[in-house]
């Protein structure tokens, strides 16, 4: 389940970048990985990205270093810069951590004041986009739409430590999900989103746990 893929401006803004252009390049590469344009082993050329953005190679190189730091890129001086290799087992581990962090995020939201209708409406908008992409069998658009749903949800949590922890594992998950032979169970994700919105509207902690438990059932093969 690729997460945190809003481009050119992320909702959460957790990317540890020194400038908006560095963050935009970071997310641009992540989006290309998530949509399958870049796969593990694909070369990354800073001069081409710099030309695409109309900037010098300096911010592009900074973004590449950040992507290397979070494990998305592999860099060998004067030899190559490429998308890192990953494994289904690593993806499953990343998903398990991501799931537990989102359980904590929803729990914190439910103990705070009820979500304003404006926030619920935004979640519903992202959910409708996710469902529409699933109906259209558009895997790339589905990945982006459902990413926006969870990104927005996490942005509502007033817990910087939780946000940073989730951001760290999300990069690994996005890389791994893009390399799986088939996508995640879309129907389960769409159903879970709908149930979670209903639970958040009524502040029903039990219903929220049930909605998230549906995600936990998603199967990721390791062979």
Same domain, 76 and 129: no
Can you name the residues that pair with 83 across neighbouring β-strands?
A: 73
Chain length of the chain: 223
Domain count, the chain: 2
Other CB atoms within a 10 A radius of the CB of residue 46 amount to: 17
Rounded distance between C-alpha atoms, residue 83 and residue 184, angstroms: 21
Q: Are 88 and 220 in contact (CB under 8 A)?
A: yes
Q: In degrees, to the nearest 5, what angle opens at C-alpha 175 toward C-alphas 59 and 164?
A: 70
- The answer to whether residue 6 scores a pLDDT higher than 80 is no
Q: Is residue 106 part of a domain?
A: yes
Instruction: Please write the tens of the pLDDT for every residue from 178-207.
Output: 666 666 688 999 999 999 999 999 889 899
Q: What is the CATH classification number for the domain harbouring 59? A: 1.10.10.10
Per the structure, the complete domain to which residue 100 belongs is given by 88-216
Where are the alpha helices (H) located in 36-182, listed in sequence order? 46-53, 57-69, 88-111, 117-135, 139-155, 160-179
Least confident span in 16-20, 107-111, 157-161? 16-20
In tens, the pLDDT along 100-127 reads: 998 999 999 988 777 899 999 999 999 9
- Are 97 and 133 members of one domain? yes
Look at residue 6 and tell me if it is in a domain: no
Give the CA count within 13 Å in the CB-facing half-sphere of 109. Answer: 29
| Final residue in a domain of this structure, among 83, 98, 113 | 83
Q: Quick check: 25 and 60 in contact, CB under 8 A?
A: yes
- Look at residue 37 in the predicted model and tell me its pLDDT: 83
Structure tokens at 198: 């209903």
CATH code assigned at 194: 1.20.120
Decide: helix, strand or coil at residue 23: helix
In a domain, 43, yes or no: yes
If asked whether residues 78 and 95 sit together in one domain, one would say no
C-beta separation of 14 from 167 below 8 A: yes
| All residues at 6 or more sequence positions from 9 whose CB lies less than 8 Å from its CB, including other chains | 20, 24
Instruction: Label residue 5 by pLDDT band (50, 70, 90).
Output: very low
Q: Max CA-CA distance within the chain?
A: 57
Where does a domain end: 59, 83, 107? 83
Collect all residues with Cβ–Cβ distance below 8 Å to 48 and sequence separation of at least 6. none
Residue found under tokens 């001086």? 77
Alpha-carbon gap, residue 196 to 163, rounded angstroms: 19
Query: What's the confidence (pLDDT) of residue 88?
Result: 79
Nearest to 189 by CA among 98, 113, 77, 112: 98
Q: Give the pTM.
A: 0.72
Do residue 61 and residue 112 come from a single domain? no
Q: Do residue 172 and residue 94 come from a single domain?
A: yes
């Amino acid at each position: 389940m690729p997460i945190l893929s809003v481009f050119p401006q992320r909702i959460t803004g957790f990317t540890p970048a020194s400038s908006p252009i560095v963050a935009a390049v970071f997310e641009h590469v992540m989006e290309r990985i998530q949509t399958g344009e870049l796969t593990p082993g694909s070369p990354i050329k800073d001069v081409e990205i710099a030309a695409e953005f109309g900037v010098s190679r300096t911010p592009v190189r900074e973004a590449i270093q950040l992507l290397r730091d979070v494990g998305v890129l592999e860099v060998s001086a004067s030899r190559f810069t490429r998308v890192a290799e990953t494994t289904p087992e690593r993806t499953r581990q990343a998903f398990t951590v991501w799931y537990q962090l989102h359980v904590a995020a929803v729990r914190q939201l439910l103990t705070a004041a009820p979500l304003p209708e404006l926030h619920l409406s935004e979640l519903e908008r992202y959910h409708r986009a996710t469902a529409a992409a699933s109906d259209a069998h558009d895997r790339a658009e589905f990945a982006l739409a459902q990413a926006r749903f969870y990104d927005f949800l996490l942005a509502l949590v007033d817990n910087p430590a939780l946000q940073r922890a989730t951001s760290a594992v999300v990069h690994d998950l996005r890389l791994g999900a893009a390399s799986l032979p088939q996508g995640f169970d879309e129907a389960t994700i769409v159903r879970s989103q709908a149930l979670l919105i209903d639970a958040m509207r009524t502040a029903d902690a039990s219903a929220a746990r049930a909605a998230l438990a549906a995600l936990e059932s998603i199967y990721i093969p390791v062979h």
